[in-house]
Amino acid sequence: MKTRKLGRCVWLREAIADDEQDQPPLQGQQKADVCIVGGGYAGLWTALEIKARDPACDVAIVEADICGGGASGRNSGMVLSQWAKIDALRNFCGEDGAVRLGKAFGASAHNIEVFCKTNGIDAEFRPDGWIWGSTCAAHDGSWRGILESLARSGQSPFQELTAQQIAERCGTTSFRGGIYDPTAATLHPGKLVRGIRRVALGKGIRIFENSPMRHLERTAEPRIHTAAGSLTAKTCVLTMNAWSLGIPELKSAIVVLASDDAVTEPVPDLLEKLGYLGKPLMGDSQTFVTGFRTTANHRFQPGISGGIIGFGSLAGQRFEGRSIRDAEIRACVQRGFPALAHLPFADSWCGPIDRTQSGLPLFGKLPGPSNIFYGYGFSGNGVATTPVTARILASLALGVKDEWSGCGLVRAPERWMPPEPIRYVGAHMVRAAIRRKDDLNQRSKRIGPIVRALSAMAPGGITTSTVKKERN
């Protein structure tokens, strides 16, 4: 059977070789030491981390689609430190833990680059940094509170930039000022996830693709059931991203919202003329953030958050195919890079994001006698965080008590979201308010109390972090 490329976004179409085969689906009754459900970055990095610590451990991954078919093969490829979430990190992990994790996330881009070089993966890694800026008066200085908070921890990972400095670096005069994180990078998400898959297979990790878990038996040794087989393991790790909504204990901690990306055809001459060829990735300060980057083959790639809202367990839903938000993406380009707003989109797509209230992921063990662990809630920031948090999941899965399994991100899922259908209706109201607030801010208009109150219920994203302690 050939790996399917049809209906996939440009990243996977470019990353999957024509003659590449899917791994066989799970069939019959199988056994493993550790079974990981979900073959995205979180599952693959965790499998590699477990194997690195215990080479004799028999690790198997059960993936509903193909590895990278979820968010890992269709994200924007922005490798961002998590320093913008210092307050939320401090809230869960304390001062020392927050700084330790912040440094680990900050080092992630470099570590991914080293991993790719060591393993012969050309993931088109570009360490050009990240500019987080303002495109309207209401957003000016959005980052100041975070800089002050970081300074209290003795950290200064960002450099402030004026509008002129941003224009000189990136060729757009639409940004009124911002900050620069030199540790950030861009990469090709499809080539990265398919590269990690190749390395995992080379290490003897078994991968079953096209094998959706239909039932999770919570016996002393957990058992995964698929249409054609079952896999019994001593330990199971769930890295199912937005599809964690299908696990009753996990769904109250996340709301699922799509992000949407687009790419133009390669336009090297235009980017060169503008001054945005091979330059830093950029993001604005909207609650539903807009991001801009370029690819190694000189496509311009804008992306926006705040799209389709997930309902129920996400089963049968279509966070797939071409984005339905091309016009909205174009409006964002008009705002951030007007000189590129006329370019047609060669492709656009969307994918689900598992947003927690704080914007930080969750790790832990499901209640009951089975060794079933979870890792999800990456909130649109999984590229740099998953290699680090794989250490947390590996320590939990191997029963090791250390700084990782004891870290503050290991916690019970917060009971933040109400049950359906209130969750779905409420999420639409909050999303409408956020869109309204973002729009009013751009037009320097006053925001009324209802819009203000509803939009304050926004989940954490790339830069925002709700620091209020979530209740269990």
Ligand X SMILES: Cc1cc2nc3c(=O)[nH]c(=O)nc-3n(C[C@H](O)[C@H](O)[C@H](O)COP(=O)(O)OP(=O)(O)OC[C@H]3O[C@@H](n4cnc5c(N)ncnc54)[C@H](O)[C@@H]3O)c2cc1C
Using CB under 6 A, list all residues that contact ligand X.
37-43, 62-65, 69-72, 74-78, 80, 212-213, 239-241, 243, 259, 261, 303, 350-351, 353, 378, 380-384, 386
453 burial class (0-12, 13-18, 19+ CB within 10 angstroms)? exposed
Q: How far is the CB of 376 from ligand X (least distance, A)?
A: 6
Cβ proximity to ligand X: between 150 and 240 the closer is: 240
Number of helices (H), then strands (E), belonging to the chain: the values are 12, 18
Cβ proximity to ligand X: between 388 and 454 the closer is: 388
Pair 197, 15: CB distance under 8 Å: no
Q: Would you state the structure tokens that stand for residue 161, as one six-digit string?
A: 């930039």
- Tell me how far the alpha carbon of residue 406 is from its chain's centroid: 23
Pair 65, 190: CB distance under 8 Å: no
Cβ proximity to ligand X: between 83 and 243 the closer is: 243
* Distances 327 to 75, 96, 305 between C-alpha atoms, Å: 19, 44, 14
Q: How far is the CB of 196 from ligand X (least distance, A)?
A: 10
Identify any residues that bridge with 259 across adjacent strands, giving them in sequence order. 351
- Tell me how far the alpha carbon of residue 428 is from its chain's centroid: 21
Q: How far is the CB of 53 from ligand X (least distance, A)?
A: 19
Cβ proximity to ligand X: between 174 and 186 the closer is: 186
Cβ proximity to ligand X: between 323 and 395 the closer is: 323
Q: How far is the CB of 68 from ligand X (least distance, A)?
A: 7
Name 105's Cβ contacts closer than 8 Å, sequence gap at least 6: 81, 82, 83, 384, 385, 388
Rounded to whole angstroms, the Cα distance separating 37 from 368 reads 18
Q: How far is the CB of 7 from ligand X (least distance, A)?
A: 14
Cβ proximity to ligand X: between 262 and 440 the closer is: 262
Q: How far is the CB of 181 from ligand X (least distance, A)?
A: 13
Q: How far is the CB of 343 from ligand X (least distance, A)?
A: 19
Pair 137, 99: CB distance under 8 Å: no
Identify any residues that bridge with 283 across adjacent strands, giving them in sequence order. 132, 291
**Helix orientation angle between 189-202 and 41-53, rounded to the nearest 10 degrees:** 30
Q: How far is the CB of 136 from ligand X (least distance, A)?
A: 23
Which amino acid would we find at residue 432? A
Q: How far is the CB of 182 from ligand X (least distance, A)?
A: 17
Q: Would you state the structure tokens that stand for residue 197, as one six-digit string?
A: 């898959």
Cβ proximity to ligand X: between 336 and 380 the closer is: 380
* Of 188, 461, 186, nearest in space to 307 by CA: 461
Cβ proximity to ligand X: between 323 and 455 the closer is: 323
Rounded to whole angstroms, the Cα distance separating 336 from 186 reads 18
Cβ proximity to ligand X: between 171 and 352 the closer is: 352
